[in-house]
Amino acid sequence: ETGVTQTPRHLVMGMTNKKSLKCEQHLGHNAMYWYKQSAKKPLELMFVYSLEERVENNSVPSRFSPECPNSSHLFLHLHTLQPEDSALYLCASSQDLAGGSDTQYFGPGTRLTVL
């Protein structure tokens, strides 16, 4: 296990639903990330949090809303999604943001299907 857990592992939702993805890291890290992984595409960074403060938001549509209540937990709230939002959503954590050498540890992901 990587020390990063995600729930649920699978989620099917309609376009009008509201749901949330949860991520928890047990590594004592200070930074957490949300990525989107679509088939045959590179991982796309969505959000970055450091010490519960959002430090980067890569032009993500407002139908995705992150929340970081503490350094161990990260949520991604979903509402009025589109079918093209179907993907694997990965959470990652790292010790800090400082420098490019900081290793990121990934959770298993939530497989999201939007009908």
Question: Quick one: which of 91, 44, 82 has its CA closest to 63?
Answer: 82
Among 41, 53, 62, 83, binds other proteins (CB under 8 A): 41
33 part of the interface to other proteins, by CB under 8 A: yes
- Encoded tokens for 60: 């993500």
Q: Residue 48 Cβ, how far from other proteins at the closest point, in Å? A: 5
- Measure the CA–CA gap between 76 and 13, rounded to whole angstroms: 14
**Segment lying near other proteins (by CB under 8 A), choices 14-22, 63-71, 72-80, 101-109:** 101-109
60 part of the interface to other proteins, by CB under 8 A: no
Under 8 Å between Cβ of 58 and 46: yes
Q: Based on CB atoms, which residue is closest to other proteins, 62 or 101?
A: 101
- Measure the CA–CA gap between 115 and 99, rounded to whole angstroms: 40
- Measure the CA–CA gap between 45 and 63, rounded to whole angstroms: 16
Residues that bind other proteins (CB under 8 A): 2, 4, 6, 31, 33, 40-43, 45, 48, 50, 55-56, 90, 92, 97-101, 103-109, 111
